[in-house]
Amino acid sequence: MNEARLHGIAGEFEHLDGALGAARQLRDSGFTRVEAYSPYPVEELAEAVGRSGAPIIAISTVAFLGALIGLTGGYFVQYWTAAVDLPVNVGGRPLHSWPAFTVSTFEIGVLCGVAAALLAFLVSSRLPLLYHPIFATDGFERASQDRFFLIVEAADVRFYPERIRAIFERHGAAHVSEVRG
């Protein structure tokens, strides 16, 4: 295991304050490849590691486009089947009776909107993922329960392990470890 490539240095924090302090100091010291892991969403933490801006793919835009495609496609299927391919005269009512098509159009539209949102969420969060080096961190199973983790990736240009370790420890990290995987 120790032969594996160094992924970064991880600090485990019992308290949110410690993790927040360390993350802010890392940011102020110019580190850029920092990621934070928490058992529940913490906005301040996302800000501290520079993840608070708009995501690369705006999920809401994708959801909207998905809904738009669903609306158009849903309407087209109804129009084409009822008015073009199989025109059935029901008591002289217009073949292209758009008010009757609105309900299904809405339902198919919102279905596609939700599906697009889910897809955008998965893609922008890099999921599904079978393996990630962070899982090799000691005690990382508690990141989904009650601990906060910060990691500075080895890809960071300022990656000086001793300095990072010192910052983590100054802010009361319970455990600092090298992550290899």
Backbone angles phi, psi at 36, to 5 degrees: -120, 145
* Number of amino acids touching another protein (CB under 8 A): 65
Q: For residues 29 and 125, which CB has a smaller minimum distance to another protein in the complex?
A: 125
Answer for which of 4, 29, 76, 81 binds another protein (CB under 8 A) is 81
Nearest to another protein of 30, 40 (CB atom): 40
In the bound state with another protein, the residue whose beta carbon lies nearer, of 63 and 173, is 63
> What is the per-residue burial (b if ≥16 Cβ within 10 Å, else e) of 118-147?
eebeeeeeeeeeeeebbebbeebeebeeeb
Distance CA 143, CA 146 (A): 6
Among the listed residues 9, 10, 22, 36, the single contact to another protein using CB under 8 A: 36
Beta-bridged to residue 8, according to DSSP, are: 153, 179
Q: Is 124 or 169 the residue whose CB approaches another protein more closely?
A: 124
Distance CA 78, CA 86 (A): 11
Among 1, 2, 28, 40, binds another protein (CB under 8 A): 40
| Site membership for another protein, residue 76 (CB under 8 A) | no
Under the criterion CB under 8 A, does residue 29 sit at the interface with another protein?
no
- For the record, the structure tokens of 179 come out as 């992550």
Out of 60, 155, 160, 166, the only residue in the binding site for another protein (CB under 8 A) is: 60
Least CB distance from residue 14 to another protein, whole Å? Answer: 8
Q: How far apart are the first and last CA of the chain?
A: 7
